């Protein structure tokens, strides 16, 4: 069987076929360039690096209890901006539970130490009304103590006839690295939202 090589790919120079000890042939290959008309997608946005340098949005020492609730609801309203489930990430930063212990943040005891479990509950039929909601109205405010605040909020979701009421309980931490910050102790649905059980 004979192989044919194109002159563009391989050229032998008769005058320089051998070097030195004449044991190794010298091959001169032409360089080639690969190109395509198909654009290569850029998976990182143009402001990706800048967005990573910014301090992630979460609790601030100068936020009041009402403002902390407002900012969390705003984040959930625009949940997928600038990336998917960013609003749920903000909620997780405001959450005042110990990630190493089971929490009653949503009512029943749940292990919420992993963000993915926390995120899944927001996509449960009980809480998904908060994600991308269209309208909300504060129903009541209650100062239980100087460092404990409750707010009931009515939410109209993005799906037809989707309306729910939720209660935020905010606590102001005393001592430690979160001293003075308002964090969310619980976000409860009005009603028995998990009566059928929940696989999270």
Q: Which residue has the tokens 């979160």?
A: 178
Q: What is the pLDDT of residue 12?
A: 45
Q: What are the pLDDT digits (tens) for 161-170?
A: 999 999 999 9
SS3 of the chain: the string is: CCCCCCCCCCECCHHHCECCCCCCECCECCCCCCCCCCCCCCCCCCCHHHHHHCCCCCCCCCCCHHHHHHHHHHHHHCCCCCCCCHHHHHHHHHECCCCCCCECCCCCCECCCCHHHHHHHHCCCCCHHHCCCCEEEEEEEEEEECCEEEEEEEEECCCCCCEEEEEEEEEECCCCCCCCCEEEEEEEECCCCCCCCCCC
pTM: 0.70
* Residue 51 pLDDT class (50, 70, 90 cuts): low
CA distance 23 to 30: 23
Average pLDDT, integer, range 60-83: 96
Contact 101, 49 (CB under 8 A): no
Distance of CA 4 to the CA centre of its chain: 57
Domain segments of the chain as ranges = 62-189
| pLDDT, the chain, mean | 82
Average pLDDT, integer, range 43-59: 71
Q: What are the pLDDT digits (tens) for 90-129?
A: 999 999 999 999 999 999 999 998 999 999 999 998 999 9
Q: What is the pLDDT of residue 14?
A: 45
Contact 157, 136 (CB under 8 A): no
Q: What percent of the chain has pLDDT over 70?
A: 68
Two tokens at 188?
């409860």
- As its CATH architecture, domain 62-189 has Roll (3.10)
């Amino acid at each position: 069987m004979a192989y044919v090589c194109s002159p563009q790919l391989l050229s032998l120079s008769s005058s320089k076929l051998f070097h030195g000890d004449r044991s190794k042939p010298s091959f001169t290959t032409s360089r080639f360039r690969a190109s395509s008309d198909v654009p290569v997608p850029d998976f990182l946005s143009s402001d990706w690096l800048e967005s990573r340098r910014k301090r992630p949005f979460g609790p601030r020492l100068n936020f009041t209890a009402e403002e902390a609730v407002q900012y969390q609801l705003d984040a959930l309203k625009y949940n997928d901006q600038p990336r998917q489930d960013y609003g749920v990430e903000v909620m997780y930063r405001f959450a005042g539970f110990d990630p190493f212990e089971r929490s009653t943040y949503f009512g029943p005891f749940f292990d919420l130490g992993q963000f993915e479990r926390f995120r899944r509950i927001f996509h449960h039929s009980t809480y998904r009304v908060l994600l991308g909601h269209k309208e909300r109205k504060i129903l009541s405010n209650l100062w239980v103590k100087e460092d404990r605040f409750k707010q009931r909020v009515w939410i109209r979701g993005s799906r037809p006839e989707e309306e729910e009421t939720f209660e935020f309980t905010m606590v102001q931490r005393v001592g430690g690295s979160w001293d003075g910050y308002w964090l969310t102790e619980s976000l409860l649905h009005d009603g028995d939202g998990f009566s059928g059980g929940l696989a999270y």
